[in-house]
Amino acid sequence: MGEAPVIAAEGLGKVFRMYARPFDRMREWVGGRVRHEEFWALRDVDLTVAKGEAVGIIGENGAGKSTLLALLTGTTTPSTGRLAVEGTVAAILELGAGFHPEFTGRHNARMYAALFALPDVEDLLERVVAFSELGHFIDQPVRTYSSGMYLRLAFALAVNIDPEVLVIDEALAVGDQHFQTKCIERITGFRGHGRTIVFCSHNMYQVKKLCDRALWLRQGRVAALGAVDEVVDAYLEHSRARDVSDAAQAEARAAEAALLRIVRVSAEGPGGVPLETLQSGDPLTVRVWIERAGGAEVVPGVGIAVVRNDGLVCYCVSTEMDGIRMQPMSDGTFAIALHFPALPLLGGGYYLNVATTDDRGGLLAYDVRERLNPFRVRNPAHDYGLVRLAHTWSAAGMGSSSGA
């Protein structure tokens, strides 16, 4: 038989009562009619997490992510369903949650150690001070801490009690790059020692890098659960479609008023085929047509960006940057094409951002179109990352050998 799961949730749900006025709660309690509305923050969630597995929880604000984490950590109880969590659970939820603001970081650490009945408090304090790098601030009231300092203390405490389950809710977003890297390295080490991680974040890159599977919540229900790449890409496609729909009317109004209006954008892969899917190293051509408002004499420029689904700008260039001056066609409109002979992007989902600018420094953006021509890049090789870099291998002290 296989090992029992560390987390097992079946039909999990959480409902909250919402009252129009605070006094309605008392009037209902003393025997009056029902005066509340029910809000299901979470409903019918099934989830099992094995020992040593890392699961990402993703979704829009209000999707039920924090409610699920609160259930997993025992800070609230389920309204429906069953939930079992095995072993010690340490959590980094809201920044500062569980800290007494008037106590110092050291005193809060002592209370944390007492909560988990740890035998060697002084050893824990030494490790917390060393990992958090708070220095003399460890003896200052936590109400004086910045959000980044809260993170340092909370993360240092959570990882140094060596829990079986580590729950993280968006905390890494406030850390500086140095401490984020340090935290991610420690999380990776946790996974290597068979610990279980539940990681909630809006940073899809971190979710993909840290997690094996992902749970996508939408309006309190499970939208998808499975391999992290598949679920994250599905979520990003959903978000992109929603953003495009919400922004369409605003973009249209802005375009009508723009001095330099984008008439059309097209993107083509190998052989001039409309862009849908590429393989790493395939060519890409982006064509843009522009018209000027009546009487305008400004010469248009174009900026084009290739953007990954999580919002990372992979590459951005403009005619102004490259010293290209557009010439009008016979009908007074402008058209230009940007060619990438061999796009080095690796696997993932991408889209295009296009904007019109002027040719006098490119500081003004007249018509901006975002999330255009969504496409996927497939990588038949085994390397991974953002782009394929030319490289060679060689034995130490010898000439180069095979490479890419």
Dist. CA 16–CA 304, nearest whole Å = 47
Question: Would you state the pLDDT for residue 223?
Answer: 94
**Of 342, 311, 156, 332, nearest in space to 260 by CA:** 332
To the nearest 10 degrees (0 to 180), the angle between helices 105-115 and 121-132 is: 130
- Whether 49 contacts 198, CB under 8 Å: yes
Decide: residue 362, CB within 10 A, 0-12 exposed, 13-18 middle, 19+ buried: middle
What's the pLDDT tens digit per position in 92-124? 775 555 688 889 988 988 887 887 777 778 888
The DSSP code sequence of 135-153 is: GGGGGSBGGG--HHHHHHH
Residue 345 DSSP symbol: B
> Based on C-alpha coordinates, what's the Rg of the chain?
27
What's the pLDDT tens digit per position in 327-337? 888 888 899 99
Any residues with CB less than 8 A from the CB of 248 and at least 6 apart, and which?
A: none
- Whether 161 contacts 90, CB under 8 Å: yes
167: pLDDT strictly greater than 50? yes
Structure-model confidence comparison of residues 368 and 287, the more confident one: 287
Instruction: Please report the domains of the chain, with CATH numbers, ordered by start residue.
Output: 7-236 (3.40.50.300), 258-378 (2.70.50.60)
Sheet hosting strand 348-358, strand order edge to edge? 277-279, 365-378, 348-358, 300-308, 313-318
Any residues with CB less than 8 A from the CB of 315 and at least 6 apart, and which?
A: 305, 306
Residues in a beta bridge with 85: 7
Dist. CA 220–CA 62, nearest whole Å = 8
* Averaged pLDDT for residues 178-203: 84
Average pLDDT over the chain, rounded to an integer: 83
**Of 160, 147, 168, 165, nearest in space to 99 by CA:** 147
Question: What count of residues does the chain have?
Answer: 404
Token match 């984020």: residue? 180
What's the pLDDT tens digit per position in 111-161? 878 877 777 788 888 888 888 888 889 899 988 988 788 888 888 888 888
Structure-model confidence comparison of residues 201 and 288, the more confident one: 288
What's the pLDDT tens digit per position in 29-72? 776 677 767 889 999 999 999 998 999 999 998 899 989 998 99
Q: What is the pTM of this model?
A: 0.61
Question: Would you state the pLDDT for residue 32?
Answer: 66
pLDDT band, residue 341 (cuts 50/70/90): very high
Q: What is the token pair recorded at 76?
A: 């609230």
